Amino acid sequence: MTQANPLPDAPVTVARLLAQLTLDEKISLLHGNWSVLEKLGEAGVIPGVPRLGIPPLRLSDGPSGVRVTARATALPAPVALASTFDPALAHAYGTVIGREGRALQQNVQLAPMVNLVRTPYGGRNFETFGEDPLLISDIAVAQIQGIQEQGMIATVKHLAANSQEHDRQTVDAIVDEQTLREMELPAFEAAVRAGVGSVMAAYNSVNGAFACESPELLDELLRQDWGFDGWVMTDWWAAHSTQASLTAGLDMEMPTGKYFGRALKEAVEAGEISETLVDRAVDRILTVMDRFGLLEASADAAPPRDPAFGAEIARQVAVAGAVLLRNEHATLPLTGAAARSIAVIGMTGSVPFVSGGGSSHVVPDHADSPLQALRARAGGAEVAFAAGVDWCGKDIPAEDLSPAVLLDVTGTQAIPPGRSWSYDGTLCADEDDEWTFVLHWSHHEEWTQEDDAVPIYNRPAIVFDGEELFPVQPGWEELFTGGLVGTSADGLALRSATRNVTKGTHTLSIRADADADGMSFRLRRETPATRAADLAEAVSAARSAETTVVFAWQDATEGKDLETLALPAAQDELISAVAAVTPRTVVVLNTATSVTMPWLPDTAAVLQMWYSGQQGAQAAAELLFGDENPSGRLPVSCPADEESHPMAGDPARYPGTDGRVTYSEGIHVGYRWYDAYDVEPLFPFGHGLSYTEFTYADLRTEAATETGVEVSFTLRNTGTRSGAEVVQIYLGPSPDLGLPQAVRKLAAYRRLTLAPGEEQRVRLMIGRRQLSSWSPSEHDWVLGTGERAIAVGASSRDLRLHGVIRLHA
Ligand code: BGC
């Protein structure tokens, strides 16, 4: 049986191996090399040393499942997991990943990501666990334990301050010590204390030093302060040096060996780097491999996948992570006439929005669309559909082209391997107009094999009026130009380009060269007229139904931040238009993070489901019809508009100036900022409604002990349905600390399920760490003594019980 705990003889085995390894072999363990093994779609590979029985290490991306070429369980995005406020579900989520990872021949999972959500524009906000360090830590630890108990090594990423995608490779995050320790680092520290096997250092710099070669982060903090005994790898292509990195404590360069390959060997041979530093890094890697049983000759065979278990956990997380933001006049759940006549509006009603883009995208086993799931659940009820806003475009009528042709070179028309397809003609505009061209093509990703490998792209060249509409961007730019909305229903990649056209004819040339896989493509178009027709169709569908459910999306991906907090395309207009004709308008959001909602007062209900994974459609149907009761809570604050959030109006704070981003909000991240500056959010941190009601009573606090302060109160389900409540305890500042402190911070929480009429005495402990602040002068945690306010409630702004605790030094 593979153990997650160190084996008693681990050091001996590793020491024996170290003594037998040649310098070349040692160096081969310190960097990725994906040209020597068959790729299974993992992000990186360490080939191993077969001569000594050291197996390869395969590293697969996450964090919302195991990302390889093969199918796996596409779990809901981590933001949905955080919304459950349920470490037990996070543990199950980790169990699915750990088991599937091993079944898919992987050894290291590049998850969880625990960077703080600091800016609402963060492109990866859906990949992490929100804006509160206690919640992030708890969810991360439980997930890591779930992964590692299955024999897979977890990787906590990205150390540290990787809170934005804008300039992520180069930006220098300027963060004061207290803010780092109290806000960004607690989850990394908790992960280390939970025994995480590896840490990924971030692309960016922190306070002037690249994270991948920062002695403060990699040595003083990780090793000396926290006692980390695993290994540190770079983010992909994030290394900048050989000697400085190795000396600082970096152990592994990924995914290739630009600095830790030949350059390292030459430096050792030239006597510039001591081989003991190489040994130190190898020792750290082998020690973790040994701890996970990977060096045993008779290592356990990988268990088979359990897709049914994966699907059930994906469903449970999608349900428990769904946040009911608004529910006027008990519009939800749908019952009676409201459940018998439904219009589903929105592309993500018919194309399941399983996950965000970038390295987190998992190939799902299977995913129904909400439309399918709602039709299945609604029995014989009428469920109509209209896209409303169409991101795929419409066929360009053949007669608008001269020579006339239908630009749909897919299916049996597709271009065979090695052949080309070209077109030279004109396209006619009947009037001055604005056109959005949408290119669909079969995208195959290939990489060059050098140390500085870059992706190679092949797509059709579309030249309109002499301008190439979709030029391939150099290197990395392309990698993250689209998330899931960048895909058509038949799996082709999408790009769009908008141009103003004048009445008359325009030249159009197309050239498509198929590679060894052949090529499919089509060129489509949207115009103001097609948009108006789509909108009119949606309004008419809504008018004919009792209930309208609009599925709205926001496409986020690693590699770029969001440019706006508004829903993209014309979705705000669509929701407003639909809500204007039907009072029973329900909006289901599949967004990465909080979005602005100008249409909110006109809607009846809003259900935030984030990127809800492969079972998201079933979860949506179960929640809308009331088979399940919503219980998710916001792990991020939702700003009222683009001017009212912690990053507004200060470019030095975000997106940064002169290559730096300054965390000048200090510890006032997320809801702490709204409270400190008395700004009203649209929805506060911790908010989420239920189909039942809860009351809170009889607050009691016990005297402080060595472990903390116990707080108790009585929770009662006063409604008519069983439901889960996430009770939250917030702690006020200490009068005795001369340090910045939050007006209130989450100090303890629990998710509890109560039957109708059921009452429970809830006891929660506020731990010593929560009662302390980081003192930059003492470089340590100091207890916040004196009289401190506590409040118990259902969100950071829905506080039902108030009390005080007294703490002595
Ligand atoms: C991301 C990491 C990811 C790695 C490997 C990087 O671009 O920042 O989170 O694990 O790629 O795909």
**DSSP secondary structure string for all residues of 684-715:** -TT--B-SS-EEEEEEEEPPP-SSEEEEEEEE
Q: What pLDDT is stored for residue 761 in this prediction?
A: 98
Distance of CA 422 to the CA centre of its chain: 40
d(CA 792, CA 127): 29
User: Residue 601: which residues within 8 A CB-CB, separation 6 or more?
Assistant: none
555 lines ligand 1 (CB under 6 A): no
Three-class DSSP category at 286: helix
Pocket residue to mutate for ligand 1, from 153, 359, 445, most atoms within 8 A of Cβ: 359
Distance from the alpha carbon of residue 111 to the mean position of ligand 1, in angstroms:
10
Pocket residue to mutate for ligand 1, from 40, 235, 480, most atoms within 8 A of Cβ: 235
**593 closest CA partner among 617, 557, 549:** 557
Ligand 1 atom with the smallest distance to the CA of 559 is: 7
- b/e map 735-758, b = 16+ CB within 10 Å: eebebbbbbbbbbbbbbbebeeee
Q: What angle do CA 793, 797, 801 make, to 5 degrees?
A: 30
Instruction: Out of 86, 132, 235, 390, pick the active-site residue.
Output: 235
Ligand 1 atom with the smallest distance to the CA of 44 is: 5
Three-class DSSP category at 130: coil
| CB atoms closer than 10 angstroms to residue 634 | 26
Q: For ligand 1, atom 6, name the residue with the nearest CA.
A: 236
CB 506 within 8 A of CB 525: no
CB 627 within 8 A of CB 339: no
d(CA 760, CA 727): 12
The tokens for 436 are 């959005």
What ranges make up the beta strands (E) of 580-628?
585-590, 605-608
| CB atoms closer than 10 angstroms to residue 109 | 32
182 lines ligand 1 (CB under 6 A): no
Q: For ligand 1, atom 8, name the residue with the nearest CA.
A: 235
pLDDT digits 0-9 by tens, 245-263: 999 999 999 999 999 999 9
The tokens for 400 are 């608008």
201 lines ligand 1 (CB under 6 A): no
d(CA 623, CA 332): 8
d(CA 428, CA 431): 9
61 lines ligand 1 (CB under 6 A): yes
Ligand 1 atom with the smallest distance to the CA of 255 is: 5
235 lines ligand 1 (CB under 6 A): yes
Distance from the alpha carbon of residue 226 to the mean position of ligand 1, in angstroms:
24
Ligand 1 atom with the smallest distance to the CA of 359 is: 12
Strand-by-strand arrangement of the 547-553 sheet: 323-327, 605-608, 585-590, 547-553, 341-345, 382-386
d(CA 728, CA 750): 7
Element (H, E) at 456: strand 455-456
Long-range contacts formed by 659-665: CB under 8 A, 24+ apart: 659/167, 659/170, 659/171, 659/172, 660/171, 660/172, 660/173, 660/174, 661/164, 661/167, 661/171, 661/172, 661/173, 661/174, 662/174, 663/118, 663/161, 663/173, 663/174, 663/175, 663/176, 663/179, 665/118
359 lines ligand 1 (CB under 6 A): yes
Ligand 1 atom with the smallest distance to the CA of 67 is: 12
Q: For ligand 1, atom 4, name the residue with the nearest CA.
A: 236
Distance from the alpha carbon of residue 451 to the mean position of ligand 1, in angstroms:
16
Three-class DSSP category at 431: coil
Q: Which residues pair with 344 in a beta bridge?
A: 385, 549
Burial class (CB within 10 angstroms; exposed 0-12, middle 13-18, buried 19+) of 636: buried
Q: What pLDDT is stored for residue 357 in this prediction?
A: 77
> What does the H/E/C string look like for 217-252?
HHHHHHHHHCCCCCEEEECCCCCCCCHHHHHHCCCE
d(CA 273, CA 765): 50
Distance from the alpha carbon of residue 234 to the mean position of ligand 1, in angstroms:
9
Distance from the alpha carbon of residue 209 to the mean position of ligand 1, in angstroms:
20
Q: For ligand 1, atom 7, name the residue with the nearest CA.
A: 236
Q: If you write DSSP's letter for every residue of 493-525 in order, what string do you get?
A: EEEEEEEEE-SEEEEEEEEEE-BTTBB-EEEEE
pLDDT digits 0-9 by tens, 578-600: 999 999 999 999 999 999 999 99
Element (H, E) at 742: none
Distance from the alpha carbon of residue 204 to the mean position of ligand 1, in angstroms:
13
Q: What pLDDT is stored for residue 299 in this prediction?
A: 63
Distance of CA 322 to the CA centre of its chain: 15
d(CA 222, CA 234): 15
- CA–CA distance from 739 to each of 7, 181, 182, 730, 776 (Å)? 44, 13, 12, 18, 9
CB 773 within 8 A of CB 797: no
Distance from the alpha carbon of residue 61 to the mean position of ligand 1, in angstroms:
7
Q: Which residues pair with 306 in a beta bridge?
A: none
Catalytic residue flag (residue 235): yes
Distance from the alpha carbon of residue 281 to the mean position of ligand 1, in angstroms:
21
Residue written as token pair 């066929």? 395
675 lines ligand 1 (CB under 6 A): no
Q: What pLDDT is stored for residue 93 in this prediction?
A: 98
Pocket residue to mutate for ligand 1, from 46, 58, 60, 61, most atoms within 8 A of Cβ: 61
Distance from the alpha carbon of residue 245 to the mean position of ligand 1, in angstroms:
19
Q: For ligand 1, atom 11, name the residue with the nearest CA.
A: 236
Three-class DSSP category at 638: strand
The pair phi, psi for residue 433, each rounded to 5°, is: -155, 170
484 lines ligand 1 (CB under 6 A): no
Distance from the alpha carbon of residue 186 to the mean position of ligand 1, in angstroms:
21
Distance from the alpha carbon of residue 456 to the mean position of ligand 1, in angstroms:
18
237 lines ligand 1 (CB under 6 A): no
The pair phi, psi for residue 586, each rounded to 5°, is: -110, 130
Q: For ligand 1, atom 2, name the residue with the nearest CA.
A: 235
CB 217 within 8 A of CB 205: no
127 lines ligand 1 (CB under 6 A): no
Residue written as token pair 């609604």? 378
> What does the H/E/C string look like for 132-169?
CHHHHHHHHHHHHHHHHHCCCEEEEEEECCCCCCCCCC
Alpha helices in 252-390, H assignment, sequence order: 262-269, 275-291, 307-320, 336-340, 347-350, 370-377
Burial class (CB within 10 angstroms; exposed 0-12, middle 13-18, buried 19+) of 383: buried
Three-class DSSP category at 181: helix
Ligand 1 atom with the smallest distance to the CA of 203 is: 8
d(CA 374, CA 343): 10
Pocket residue to mutate for ligand 1, from 115, 163, 199, 236, most atoms within 8 A of Cβ: 236
Distance from the alpha carbon of residue 115 to the mean position of ligand 1, in angstroms:
13
d(CA 600, CA 116): 27
| CB atoms closer than 10 angstroms to residue 379 | 8
| Maximum separation of any 2 CA atoms in the chain, in Å | 86
| DSSP conformational letter for 60 | E
- b/e map 262-293, b = 16+ CB within 10 Å: ebbbebbeeeebeeebbbebbbbbbbbbbbbb
The tokens for 409 are 């070179």
43 lines ligand 1 (CB under 6 A): yes
End-to-end CA distance of the chain: 47
Q: What pLDDT is stored for residue 361 in this prediction?
A: 82
Q: What pLDDT is stored for residue 296 in this prediction?
A: 86
| DSSP conformational letter for 7 | P
- Spell out, as residue ranges, where the chain has pLDDT lower than 50: 1-10
Ligand 1 atom with the smallest distance to the CA of 202 is: 8
